[in-house]
């Protein structure tokens, strides 16, 4: 009896060392396709203008949703009905079904993306095609996209946590966090992307809200030695490759009025130098293990804003100089709808020094909250097992 009972009992003990890689790769692909599709689509609207539901960047987005939805849906169905107790016990239960937490978040994200389509369509009929990134239906879509990316990240971090020392899993997690960071930076690109904005309070407020949470959560949950640096480097690499590739693609504007006759895809601005605060974070964080998170958050938040300010205040003047007007830095490239003028080389939305200082206080507060949330999210992610 004992001899036969052992294998049965054994099969019911979850095999923590075993990881199915394909769902991690599938969701990582979906996550990457989302951000690449988004950056490509923005470039499409700035260069070509005319698009349909079936334009190539849109198809890439749809493909991402399909891959994420189907692969995670399969995971849930298999865990629930597949008869493999390990799969069931390795998942969390939602509405009677079982599946990895990341898969659930991906499924929810896919549903959000699908739901945003009729809403967005109605919005265009009601108010006209929104030529801006941030509108209510676009936010529903964006939260769907971000959810898929968060889901991919949670799946990767759960695998990393379960298995322990597996370099591949550590990098899959870092990649998923880097992709999410790229997404966040792209969503705020209208206010915090271009060099002309780098002396406006809005630039610092937007990065303070969005970036610390993305960087810190990854820095805390990753088992790499330089996690924030790795994540920021992945963000930079993704952005640079897309910027360099887009500039190679010839494309004419197809909508009127054309005020700026561009000849190739207009790339996104040069990535933010997030790698500098990331390096400092990686150096500082291991030395602050004993510091309470409530104290750590304002320190990191204020430090982050000051480093960003010191770096981008001067970096922007380089980006606006003739030295940056080349394929490498891709500066001074504008939409087909722009009437080019001296505003190209001017700082926008600047305010007097006193107003800037006052705005900075709010920025510190935003960065502190974002940092606190990031520390919390990192701690939570470090503990995710399923």
- Chain residues binding another protein by CB under 8 A are 12-14, 16, 46, 49-50, 86, 89-90, 92-95, 101, 104-105, 108, 111-112, 115, 118-119, 122, 124-133, 135-136, 139, 158, 162, 189-191, 193-194, 196-197, 252-261, 269, 334-335, 337-339, 348-349, 380, 383-386
Task: Identify which of residues 125 and 292 has a Cβ nearer to another protein in the complex.
Answer: 125
The candidate with the shortest Cα–Cα distance to 155, out of 21, 63, 33, is: 21
Rounded CA Rg of the chain? 22
28, 172, 353 from 310: Cα distances, Å: 34, 32, 15
Task: Identify which of residues 295 and 343 has a Cβ nearer to another protein in the complex.
Answer: 343
- The minimum distance between CB 280 and another protein, in angstroms, equals 27
The β-bridge relationship of strands 97-99 and 92-94 is: antiparallel
Q: Which strand (E) or helix (H) includes residue 93?
A: strand 92-94
Three-class DSSP category at 61: helix
- The minimum distance between CB 161 and another protein, in angstroms, equals 9
- The minimum distance between CB 53 and another protein, in angstroms, equals 12
Rounded to 5 degrees, what are φ and ψ at 252? -100, 155
Half-sphere exposure of residue 121: CA atoms within 13 angstroms, side-chain side: 8
- The minimum distance between CB 36 and another protein, in angstroms, equals 18
User: Residue 384: which residues within 8 A CB-CB, separation 6 or more?
Assistant: 101, 154, 157, 158, 161
- The minimum distance between CB 29 and another protein, in angstroms, equals 22
- Round to whole Å and give the CA distance between 181 and 194: 17
Task: Identify which of residues 4 and 125 has a Cβ nearer to another protein in the complex.
Answer: 125
Task: Identify which of residues 194 and 242 has a Cβ nearer to another protein in the complex.
Answer: 194
Contact 326, 211 (CB under 8 A): no
- Round to whole Å and give the CA distance between 307 and 298: 14
Task: Identify which of residues 139 and 279 has a Cβ nearer to another protein in the complex.
Answer: 139
- The minimum distance between CB 89 and another protein, in angstroms, equals 4
- The minimum distance between CB 93 and another protein, in angstroms, equals 6
Task: Identify which of residues 287 and 339 has a Cβ nearer to another protein in the complex.
Answer: 339
Task: Identify which of residues 43 and 371 has a Cβ nearer to another protein in the complex.
Answer: 43
Contact 127, 13 (CB under 8 A): no
Reading the block at residue 241, the tokens are 């490759």
114, 192, 245 from 100: Cα distances, Å: 21, 35, 36
């Amino acid at each position: 009896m004992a001899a036969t009972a052992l294998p049965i009992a054994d099969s019911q003990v979850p095999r923590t060392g075993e990881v199915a890689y394909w769902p991690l790769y599938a969701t990582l692909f979906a996550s990457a396709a989302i951000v690449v599709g988004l950056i490509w689509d923005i470039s499409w609207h700035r260069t070509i203008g005319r698009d349909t539901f079936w334009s190539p960047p849109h198809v890439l987005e749809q493909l991402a949703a399909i891959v994420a939805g189907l692969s995670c849906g399969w995971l849930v169905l298999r865990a629930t009905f597949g008869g493999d107790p390990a799969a069931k016990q390795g998942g969390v239960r939602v509405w009677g079904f079982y599946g990895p937490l990341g898969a659930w978040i991906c499924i929810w994200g896919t549903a959000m993306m699908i739901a945003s389509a009729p809403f967005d369509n109605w919005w265009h009929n009601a108010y006209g095609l929104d030529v801006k990134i941030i509108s209510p239906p676009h936010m529903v879509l964006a939260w769907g996209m971000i959810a898929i990316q968060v889901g991919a990240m949670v799946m990767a971090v759960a695998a990393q946590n379960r298995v322990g020392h597996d370099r591949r899993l550590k990098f899959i997690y870092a990649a998923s966090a880097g992709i999410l960071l790229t997404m966040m930076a792209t969503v705020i690109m209208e206010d915090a992307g271009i060099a002309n904005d780098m002396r406006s309070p809005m630039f610092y407020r937007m990065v303070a809200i969005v970036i610390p949470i993305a960087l810190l959560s990854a820095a805390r949950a990753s088992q790499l030695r330089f996690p924030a640096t790795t994540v920021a480097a992945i963000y930079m690499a993704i952005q640079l490759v897309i910027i360099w590739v887009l500039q190679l693609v010839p494309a004419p504007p197809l909508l009127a009025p054309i005020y700026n006759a561009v000849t190739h895809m207009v790339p996104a601005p040069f990535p933010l130098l997030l790698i500098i605060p990331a390096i400092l974070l990686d150096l500082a964080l291991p030395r602050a293990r004993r510091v309470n998170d409530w104290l750590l958050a304002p320190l990191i938040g204020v430090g982050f804003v000051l480093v960003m300010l010191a770096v981008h205040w001067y970096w922007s003047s380089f980006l606006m100089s003739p030295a940056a007007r080349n394929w490498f830095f891709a500066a001074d490239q504008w939409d087909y709808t722009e009437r080019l003028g001296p505003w190209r080389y001017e700082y926008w939305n600047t305010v007097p020094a006193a107003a800037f200082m006052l705005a900075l206080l709010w920025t510190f507060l935003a960065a502190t909250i974002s940092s606190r949330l990031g520390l919390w999210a990192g701690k939570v992610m470090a503990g995710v097992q399923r």
